[in-house]
Amino acid sequence: MPTPVKQINSAPARSLDQRMDALQRANRVRSQRAALKGELKKGKVSIRSVLADPPDFLGTAKVVDVLMAAPKCGRVKSAKIMEQCRVSQSKTVGGLSERQRRELLAFFGG
């Protein structure tokens, strides 16, 4: 008896226009995130304000990446902050629970 073949679910077929729209949206989000990270690095925007009320384009960004954009906060310090606040390394800004958001805000002086 032959073994059944698993059916692979693939993404639905999209038209060229749909793919181009998605690419433009993704590029716009990447540009906005890069600009925000630059403002964080220069101190024009505080990490507290970003975590307290994140813009829509930051919803799917990793928390650790946002923390690393803050001044004097590299990979090691960001990892320690995440561990102390009990936030997974894979957590996104939009996926933070209220407790996690409160602990991060408290860590940054709030």
| Domain locations along the chain | 18-107
At 47-76, the pLDDT tens digits run 999 999 999 999 999 999 999 999 989 999
Higher-confidence residue: 24 or 14? 24
Structure tokens at 91: 């957590």
Residue 29, exposed/middle/buried by CB under 10 A (0-12, 13-18, 19+)?
middle
**What would the CATH number be for the domain defined by 18-107?**
1.10.8.50
- Taking Cα atoms as reference points, which of 11, 2, 61 lies closest to residue 37? 61
pTM of the predicted structure, to 2 decimals? 0.79
| Residues 33, 57 contacting (CB under 8 angstroms) | yes
Distance from C-alpha of 70 to C-alpha of 81, rounded to nearest angstrom: 12
Backbone angles phi, psi at 92, to 5 degrees: -95, 160
Choose among 101, 97, 25, 107: nearest CA to 70.
107
Q: Which of 31, 33, 42, 22 is nearest to 93 (CA)?
A: 33
